Amino acid sequence: MTVPAHTNGPGDIVRQRFAVTYDYAVAFTRDCFHPQNGTLAAVMAAGACPGARCLVFLDMGVMEGRPGLSDAVSAYFHTRADVPALTRAPIPLPGGEGVKNEAHYIGRMHDAIFDAGIDRHSYVLAVGGGAFLDAVGLAASTAHRGVRLIRIPTTVLAQNDSGVGVKTAINRNGAKNQIGTFAPPWAVVNDSAFLDTLPARDRVAGMAEAVKVALIRDGAFFQWLERNADALALFEPAATDWMIRRCAELHMAQIAGGGDPFEQGSARPLDYGHWIAHKLESLTRHHLRHGEAVAIGLALDTRYSVLAGMLPPGAETRVAVLLEHLGFRLWHPILARPAAEVRALALAALEEFREHLGGELTITLLAGIGHGVEVHEMDTALITQALDWLAERETP
């Protein structure tokens, strides 16, 4: 046998390449745990295997608004013969950023999954807001290298954005989404009945993502939001349902057709307005809801796009008026700092945004309503001017 001589070259490289197709259902229904509603049963039946089981995690914040939820879930599984066996009563866990800030909850979920005998042909059901779905998704995607996860988002924000996406995460050391996976769900069930008991503040917060995706992808949808702002601000069901559905469709289209669903590059096109929003969330210790911080970021980056000569003047006013009409405040006192501190904050936020994906800084700005474009640098002087514009709008 001849052994190749040592060289300083790259050696013998064999490149492996394969593609994996992901396919998951996103269903829209009402009262999915009513015994006569077959939506949940149908999405489980799509991959039915003998001996399949189901384990349910419930967001405690949702349970407070719907005291009979745990019993309703148990009754659904015990009443119907066409769903997997429920291994035990639903497990309540904290919702919101609390479940994402404490890594030990992932271990508790892993223990419950293993104790219940959940395998790759069984199901974990997560019922809760976006942060809750993120955490349960991380546990499900890492147990047995991935068990089937069905998400039932209970907030506007989760139903129109994060709940239909492919990411899971928890926070670390105060920084958002530092530990996570890309793991498409088995299915998503958007149940409009959960919005009935949602606090008004959370209903409003979720609409920021609709404005965001309209700004970067669909000018006609933005015009629809303007025309229906009164109905949305009053949470009229027909307008709210259509807004959620269209927003979810646009997010799903970006994931499927944007060319980088697992974010292997440096671009984050669906994160328009988010570079400053994530920083505001952490600086306010999540006093600001995610959507509230995003609304500030949208207004800021739209004004910046105008100042940078990319967007016609007046567009920023349209965006701010719509957001304010929906119920957002486009300012937070933490931004009322000396100019030098604001510049330092902006630079830190941009660097944290870049570090999350690595590579070149890539920020989405606007070249038109419905037309997002990517840039690789931002001028801190223009950021300061944009913040000054927001402060002036805040001043009575």
Return mean pLDDT, the chain. 93
What is the Cα–Cα distance from 65 to 84, expressed in whole angstroms?
27
Across the range 114-122, mean pLDDT stands at 97
Q: What's residue 4's pLDDT?
A: 58
R_g (Cα) of the chain, nearest Å: 22
Q: Do the bridges between strand 187-191 and strand 25-29 make them parallel or antiparallel, or are there none, so unpaired?
A: parallel
Residue 188 and residue 153 in contact, taking contact as beta carbons nearer than 8 Å = yes
Q: Choose among 124, 116, 119, 150: nearest CA to 39.
A: 150
Residue length, the chain? 396
Nearest by Cα to 236 from 342, 326, 303: 326
What was the pLDDT predicted at 336?
87
pLDDT score for 342? 82
- Between CA 384 and CA 48 the distance in angstroms is 56
- Residue-level pLDDT at 6: 59
Q: What is the pLDDT of residue 356?
A: 77
Percent of the chain with pLDDT over 90: 80
How far apart CA 132 and CA 250 sit, in angstroms, is 23
**pLDDT recorded at residue 5:** 58
Residue 1 pLDDT: 56
CB 192 within 8 A of CB 237: yes
* pLDDT above 80 (res 7): no
What local confidence, expressed as pLDDT, does residue 36 receive? 97
The strand pair at 187-191 and 175-182 is best described as: unpaired
What pLDDT shows up at residue 396?
A: 66
Mean pLDDT of 161-173: 93
Say whether pLDDT at 355 is over 70: yes
Handedness of CA 161, 165, 171, 174 (dihedral sign): negative
Interval 263-320: pLDDT, tens: 887 677 788 999 999 999 989 988 999 999 999 999 999 999 999 999 999 999 999 9
Q: What is the pLDDT of residues 243-255, one digit of tens each?
A: 999 999 999 998 8
Integer Cα distance of 223 and 225 in angstroms: 5
pLDDT of 31-76, one tens digit each?
999 999 999 999 999 888 888 999 999 999 999 999 999 999 999 9
CA 381, 382, 385, 386 dihedral sign is negative
pLDDT(3) > 60: no
Rounded to an integer, what distance in angstroms lies between the CA atom of residue 76 and that of residue 31?
A: 11
Residue 238 has pLDDT above 90, yes or no: yes
Residue linked to tokens 């399949």: 52
Structure tokens at 39: 């939506």
Give Cα separations from 381 to 146, 339, 340 (angstroms).
46, 9, 10
- pLDDT at site 269: 75
pLDDT of residue 9: 67
Q: Are 299 and 324 in contact (CB under 8 A)?
A: no
> What is the structure's pLDDT at 340?
83
Q: Point out which residues pair with 366 in neighbouring strands.
A: 372
Q: Which tens digit of pLDDT belongs to each residue from 8-25? A: 667 789 999 998 899 999
Rounded to a whole number, what is the distance in angstroms from the first to the last CA of the chain? 85
Instruction: Tell me what pLDDT residue 226 has.
Output: 98
Burial class for 325, CB neighbours closer than 10 Å (0-12, 13-18, 19+): middle
pLDDT exceeds cutoff 80 at 157? yes
Q: Are 195 and 204 in contact (CB under 8 A)?
A: no
